[in-house]
Amino acid sequence: MGQPIDRTSWSVGAAFSLALLLLGIAAVFAMGEKALLPVLGMGAGIILLASLIHRPELGILAFAALLYSNSPVNFGRVAASPHVLGLAATALLAVSVLVEVYVKRRGWILDHAFLMMLALVAVAVLSTLLSTYPHTGLSWIITLITEGVIVYLFLINAIRRITTLKRILWVLLAVCTVMSAMAAYQELTGSYEQSFLGFAQRNTERGLGDRAGEGDGLIRSRSRLHSVYRARGPMGDPNRFGQVLLVLVPLGVILATGSGSRGTRLLAGACTSALLVGVFLTYSRGTMLMLAAISVGLLLLGCLRKRDLAFGALTAVIVVAIAAPGMTRRLDSIRGVQSLFSDESRVEADGATTGRVTEMLAALHAFRDHPLLGLGPGNYTPHYSVQYMSNPEIAFRIRDTQRRAHSLYIELAAEMGIVGLLVFLTIPAWLALRLWRLRVYWLHRDRERAMLASAFLLALVAYLGTAVFLHLAFQRYYWFLIGLVGTSVHLLSQPGAQATGSLVNEIRNRDGKVVPREWYD
């Protein structure tokens, strides 16, 4: 077990803080008002650091809230550089890691997923060195390391208790509930120009749609879907907003059906319902398809009863009819894909469909020309996309500007080849396999733990499923999810689980030796 922070350490810390306080007061008296702001900043920093040392969980929760709300980017537009604020948010998590590893002496956790991520970095470096534009690949690699490798390592080492993991889920539910409520408020009032400091963005460049000045409430018919109707969340992308909301749906369902009090379960159910409203308001077709698949998965894995699923489906139909009446027409447009390859389709493909098919086929042709290591990470869109999309054999729609592939897998294959794609897919595949084995292990021992494993498995499937239609933008959301999934694997594992084929824990002490994993509850 980790060693608690003893009284001597706290006494030394208190004496050090008192000395800094006295120095700050002396500086104010000596230098006047010029020293006031630095002293106040130093005092706030000391209080924050002391709070994180005393309760490292606070840094983890704050990091989760800041990342999922995209706060560093939104506040960075006004207050400072987004990179600086992002670094500050990561520092909160880093302090929690240092406290757990060195102050409480619980050792570092290293696993196969982390090693696979290092292998992905190695492949990216090799692909970059062989590319025509290595400076572009270098930027992509830096993003992978800072938003992927480091965040994953920090998360699995900072989160040492299942209770902490559940509190993170509650924080994420709260953040997304607020963002969904903002989007619903915009719909209810028609105040699409109110972006709530960038946390509820809308595309108003093409006008306010057919509701401008009408004030007709929430219910309306939409023969045409204007851009402004699509909720874009804090990222400014409706499809991405729908994706990050969808990932939390199975986790919210587990909290709503868990062993908590009746009030807690009702609150979780209300937050999950708010997430679904936000999903509907994005009008994202891929997200809606995956929502149906996740709902079936929740039923098959025993997370939902048939009557609960039927009630939820009925509620969803009512909500869609009121809040997003254009969803049916938008989903029906999916059938237009058939018209691109067959004359038998009765539905013509819309502009978005023809554009995306063109972009995907172009990236596939780039992969065909560079199958082993690709064009280099991050290189396809700025340097090759226009060239490949201009091919008359695949161009269902003219694209004369740089466009991404709109598919994580196709774009990654074009940029890092089959080697990079396989290494990338090995990470979620390994985690999914461990979650499934843990689910099997706990199913007849502790149903709540089994359902938690099932929920994280479905959350991973939700992201990977929507990634068929979305490229790897906003990497931090994906790697943050991978970090939570990896953490759940460690926390749901136990030393005696090896016989069932589940994960063998790997915790290294300060001497680098592998020691048996302590069981955190």
Task: Return d(Cα 341, Cα 360) in angstroms, integer.
Answer: 14
The pLDDT score that the predictor gives to residue 226 is 78
Least confident of 159-168, 170-179, 214-223, 477-486: 214-223
pLDDT of residue 267: 95
Calculated CA dihedral for residues 470, 474, 478, 480, nearest 10 degrees = -160
Taking only the tens place, the pLDDT of each residue in 286-318 is 899 999 999 999 999 988 888 888 888 887 778
Average pLDDT (172-179) is: 96
Number of neighbours of residue 122 by Cβ within 10 angstroms: 11
Residue that wins the pLDDT comparison between 417 and 500: 417
Q: Write down the pLDDT at residue 121.
A: 98
C-alpha to C-alpha distance for 121 and 144, rounded to whole angstroms = 7
Residue type (1 letter), 298: L
State the distance between the two ends of the chain, measured CA to CA, in whole angstroms: 12
Residue with tokens 């880093």: 94
Beta strands in 53-185 (DSSP E): 108-109
Reported confidence tier of residue 232, pLDDT bands at 50, 70, 90: very high
Write out the H or E segment, with its range, that includes residue 425: helix 408-442
Helices (H) and strands (E) in the chain, counts: 20, 3
Residue 506 has pLDDT above 50, yes or no: no
Query: With 70 as the cut, is the pLDDT of residue 204 above it?
Result: yes
Inter-residue contact 319 to 280 (CB < 8 Å): yes
List the single range of 122-131, 333-342, 345-354, 380-389 with lowest mean pLDDT. 333-342
Which residues does 142 contact at the CB level (< 8 Å), separation at least 6?
Answer: none
Is 315 or 402 the better-scoring residue by pLDDT?
402
Question: Residue 499, class by beta-carbon neighbours within 10 Å (0-12 exposed, 13-18 middle, 19+ buried)?
Answer: exposed
> What letter would DSSP give residue 148?
I
More confident call, 501 vs 290: 290
Total residue length of the chain:
521
At residue 128, does pLDDT exceed 60? yes
For the cut 80, the answer to whether the pLDDT of residue 472 exceeds it is yes
pLDDT at 275 over 70: yes
pLDDT attached to residue 234? 94
Of the two residues 79 and 448, the one the predictor is more confident about is 448
Position 349 confidence tier, pLDDT thresholds 50, 70, 90 = low
pLDDT at residue 218 is higher than 80:
no
Burial of 200 (0-12, 13-18, 19+ CB in 10 A): buried
Provide CB contacts within 8 A for 166, sequence distance 6+.
255
Note the pLDDT of residue 398: 72
What is residue 28's predicted lDDT score, i.e. its pLDDT? Answer: 55
Distance, in Å, from the CA atom of 419 to the CA atom of 408, rounded to the nearest integer, reads 15
Residue by residue, DSSP assigns 315-364 as: HHHHHHHHH-TTHHHHHHGGGGGGGGT-S--SS---HHHHHHHHHHHHHH
What pLDDT, in 10s, does the model give residues 142-157?
A: 999 999 999 999 999 9
Comparing 171 with 332, the larger pLDDT belongs to: 171
Q: Which residues of 393-403 are buried (b: 16+ CB within 10 A; e: fewer)?
A: ebbbbebeeeb
Q: What is the pTM of this model?
A: 0.85
Question: Mean pLDDT throughout 74-88?
Answer: 78
pLDDT above 70 covers a percentage of the chain that reads 76
d(CA 180, CA 58): 24
* Whole-number pLDDT of residue 512: 44
- Percent helix, strand, coil in the chain, to 5, is 70, 0, 30
Tell me the C-alpha distance between 414 and 392, whole Å.
19
Residue 39 has what pLDDT? 53
Tokens of 69: 């709300």
Strands 108-109 and 514-515, by their bridges, are: unpaired
pLDDT score for 20: 57
Instruction: Give the chain's mean pLDDT.
Output: 82
Pick the more confident residue, 208 or 262.
262
Cα–Cα distance, 318 to 508 (Å, whole number): 53
Query: What pLDDT, on the 0 to 100 scale, is given for residue 244?
Result: 96
Average pLDDT over residues 332-361: 66
**CA-CA-CA-CA torsion sign (516, 91, 476, 257):** positive
Ranges assigned E (strand) in 77-206: 108-109
Gap between the Cα atoms of 252 and 271, Å rounded: 7
Per-residue pLDDT tens for 39-65? 555 556 666 666 677 788 888 999 999
The string of DSSP codes covering 17-49 is HHHHHHHHHHHHHHHGGGGHHHHHHHHHHHHHH
Quick one: how far is CA 465 from the chain centroid? Answer: 14
Q: Which residues contact 502 (CB under 8 A, 6 or more apart)?
A: 434, 437, 438, 441, 493
Assign 508 to helix, strand or coil: strand
Q: What are phi and psi of 407, to 5 degrees?
A: -155, 125
Do 286 and 333 meet the contact criterion of CB atoms below 8 Å apart? Answer: no
Domain residue extents for the chain? 7-109
Q: What is the pLDDT of residue 334?
A: 62
Give the angle subtended at the CA of 122 by the CAs of 118 and 126, to the nearest 5°.
170
pLDDT of residue 261: 86
Confidence of residue 497 (pLDDT cuts 50, 70, 90): very low
